[in-house]
Chains A and B, each alone.
Chain A
């Protein structure tokens, strides 16, 4: 089991170390994910129904909007 895990670790470790083009791509991926999940998600994309605590409250809110 330990040997298998070691093999998997080495596989990825060596793979990442030997990358050339891949390094640039990883930088782009990490910047993109940071912008998406940290900047956009936290500061700009709060769920619209975050103020409601229970599913029942959310349902009541939607029903109220749909039936008014």
Chain B
């Protein structure tokens, strides 16, 4: 069973990470192109048209190769994660359906006008199509992110014990949940930063080769401003993400910071090396230090998580033991139950579901009502029934910790990169600063690593849950053969690697050709 779960998780992670290699460039480059074309529309200068068409080619390559790679995730839901797919019901289905029908068709329709329409439609109609393609791609992402946010913070639904499905009772609560809003802004601005860095990197290559110099300099100017503004929003929403995580997924925050024992005025680790000997719930007398080395900002984690310098941030051990005062996202303050207490409540809920079904079969309405009441009262910890040991509640701490710190460090590096490029471009010093041009090129793989790290934090950090507190991975899985999952895992690896190689080959060829 463990092998099936791990293989299914590995397969899902591989598919999602490959899919996310293609998506962010499309999201950000669409707006950069739209801005360039707007300049063409306003000035009538053919140079802007040529520039738009060059970046549009790269956009097309990325769009064409990346399109539909996300559909494989939906295949996996139905085959490997059927319990999960059933349990989430229409809550997951509705945003995905809207994404498919509305946003995908919108972007595809206007994409055709954008490519075929230069000589066929008016300049204004073409510009509108370019903007709508950019907006459409972003709208696609919005609906997927809403669905993902619901898994991290389930809201706006009611569990139906007759069907074992969650049913949406408040669509707007799902769409406008604070976690969804923050996640949408954080993820799309991450994509904009990625696109800006790619534009800078490609332009830096042209400058190093003494080719397309005007195009490169103008592109850098646009990309630095677009990237810098996006990065400011990214930092602001990153702060919001950390606050949300502290409120709705405190175990994830504890793993992000390697925090085993919580404290008031908790420091934020800027850089650290985790102690591999550290374990959960150690005897305080002989407990290992969580870090071999660390540089921290005093009280900053408390400020980030509670908005108070001396607020209490629970660590991994606190979350398992419970007993501390906790204020949730809605402002309710209560004493956090221990793992054992939550597990007991989860078991009550699962047994009540069984009792409800038995009562339904025997036509005993009173017993059904009684079971329904117990189920509703304990449903918030339904998934804890399937968690066997407290350590099963803890995600992979090193992976979450290092991915988080890598993401933040690279984010700060890109801030510096945008400032340096903006300064060098303004002072006409770009061509002479070869180290800066090389730094721009090296930043392209770094920005992809940064973006992937963000998803590792979000998804590894929330383990073992597929739906926070309601369904863990071991209860989400289908009864398929692990050999079957291994076969498809290898097939996906081959398919996606081939697609990536094709993308890189065609992309490099087009860049080499120039505008």
* Chain A CB within 10 A, most for which of B61, B79, B115: B79
Encoded as 1 (CB less than 8 Å from any B CB) or 0, chain A from 50 to 66 comes to 00000100110011011
Instruction: Give the CA-CA distance A66 to B480 in the complex, in Å.
Output: 16
CB-based contact B499/A66 at 8 Å = no
Taking CB atoms, residues of chain A closer than 8 Å to B214 are: none
Q: Tell me what chain A mostly uses at the interface: helix, strand, loop, or mixed.
A: helix
Tell me the nearest residue of chain A to B485, going by C-beta. Answer: A44
Residues B68 and A25 in contact, CB atoms below 8 Å apart: no
Q: In the complex, what residues of A have CB within 8 A of residue B353's CB?
A: 63, 66-67
Is A40 a contact partner of B488 (Cβ separation < 8 A)?
yes
CB A42 to nearest CB in B, in angstroms, measures 11
A28-B64 in contact (CB<8A) = yes
Interface assignment of B502: CB less than 8 Å from any CB of chain A: yes
Interface of chain B residues 438 through 490 with chain A (CB within 8 A): 475, 478-480, 484, 487-488
Contacting pair A44 B488 (CB below 8 A): yes
Q: Is A62's CB under 8 angstroms from B83's CB?
A: yes
Bound: A12/B115 CA distance, A: 10
A-B contact count (CB 8 A): 106
Given the complex of chains A and B, what is the CA–CA distance between A16 and B499 in angstroms? 22
Q: Give the residues in chain A near B488, CB-CB below 8 Å.
A: 40, 44-45
Partner pick for A44 among B87, B165, B484, CB 8 A cutoff: B484
Convert B53-86 into 0s and 1s, putting 1 for each residue whose CB lies closer than 8 angstroms to a CB of A: 0000100110011011101100110111011001
Q: Which of A18, A21, A28, A41 is in CB contact (< 8 Å) with B57?
A: A21
Task: Name the interface residues of B18-55: CB closer than 8 Å to any CB of A.
Answer: none
Chain A residues near B351 (CB-CB < 8 A): 67
Q: A21-B57, A25-B60, A58-B86 are in contact. Are A11 and B116 (CB under 8 A)?
A: yes
In the bound complex, do residue B83 and residue A44 qualify as a contact, i.e. CB atoms below 8 Å apart? no
Residue-wise, chain B 73-109 has the 8 Å CB interface mask toward A (1 for contact) of 0011011101100110000000000000000000000
Is residue B510 within 8 Å, beta carbon to beta carbon, of the partner chain? Answer: yes
Nearest neighbor of B353 in chain A, beta-carbon distance: A67
A4 within 8 A of partner (CB): no
Q: Which of B64, B80, B116 contacts A29 (CB 8 A)?
A: B64
CA distance A16 to B488 in the complex (A): 34
Pick the contact of B475: A15, A63, A66 (CB < 8 A).
A66
Contact: A45 with B350, CB < 8 Å?
no
Q: Counting chain B CB atoms within 10 Å of each CB, which of A25, A48, A62 scores highest?
A: A48
Contacts A44-B491, A55-B163 given; 12 further ones with Cβ under 8 A? A11-B112, A14-B120, A36-B71, A36-B72, A41-B75, A45-B79, A47-B78, A48-B479, A59-B162, A62-B87, A65-B475, A66-B350
Q: For the complex of A and B, list the 9 residue pairs with the smallest distance between their C-beta atoms, beginning with the closest.
A: A15-B116, A48-B82, A48-B478, A25-B64, A67-B354, A45-B75, A47-B78, A59-B163, A45-B79
